[in-house]
């Protein structure tokens, strides 16, 4: 696994997210209460950009259909809503994060 510098810690303050590119992969870095986390940016339900969603604590909500994911674990914690139906979704892909000298590094394979 290779780690790539994607941002400074100042670029991702507490409660915020930032879309970054790590070795050609779109990733969203989130700061959940001081813990930096990284997920694949594409929602597993229908490919919506998680970076364009809302972060509330440890949960990001996809703006496309409302699917929700824990940013620390990638676990799907809220179903997508399409019309009147709620649809289960797969968990989001997570990436390991290291902080070195106020820089955020994301691990990708």
pLDDT for residue 82: 83
Say how many domains are in the chain.
Answer: 1
Contact 82, 65 (CB under 8 A): yes
Residue pLDDT, tens place only, 9-47: 999 999 999 999 999 999 999 999 999 999 999 999 888
Full residue range of the structural domain in which residue 21 is found: 2-108
Residue pLDDT, tens place only, 42-93: 999 888 999 999 999 999 999 999 999 999 999 999 999 888 788 889 999 9
Confidence of residue 103 (pLDDT cuts 50, 70, 90): very high
Domain with residue 98: its CATH number is: 2.102.10.10
- What is the sign of the dihedral through the CA atoms of 96, 53, 78 and 12? positive
Strand partners of residue 17: 30
**What's the rounded Cα separation, in Å, for the pair 94 and 46?**
17
């Amino acid at each position: 696994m290779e780690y790539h510098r994607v941002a400074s810690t100042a670029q991702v303050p507490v409660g915020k997210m930032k879309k970054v590119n790590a070795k050609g992969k779109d990733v969203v870095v989130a700061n959940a209460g001081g813990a930096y986390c990284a997920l694949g940016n594409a929602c597993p339900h229908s490919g919506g950009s998680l970076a364009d969603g809302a972060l509330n604590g440890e949960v990001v909500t996809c703006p496309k259909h409302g699917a929700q994911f824990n940013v620390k674990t990638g676990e799907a914690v809220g179903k997508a809503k399409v019309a009147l139906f709620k649809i289960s979704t797969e968990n989001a892909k997570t990436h390991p994060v290291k902080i070195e000298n106020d820089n955020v590094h994301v691990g990708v394979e």
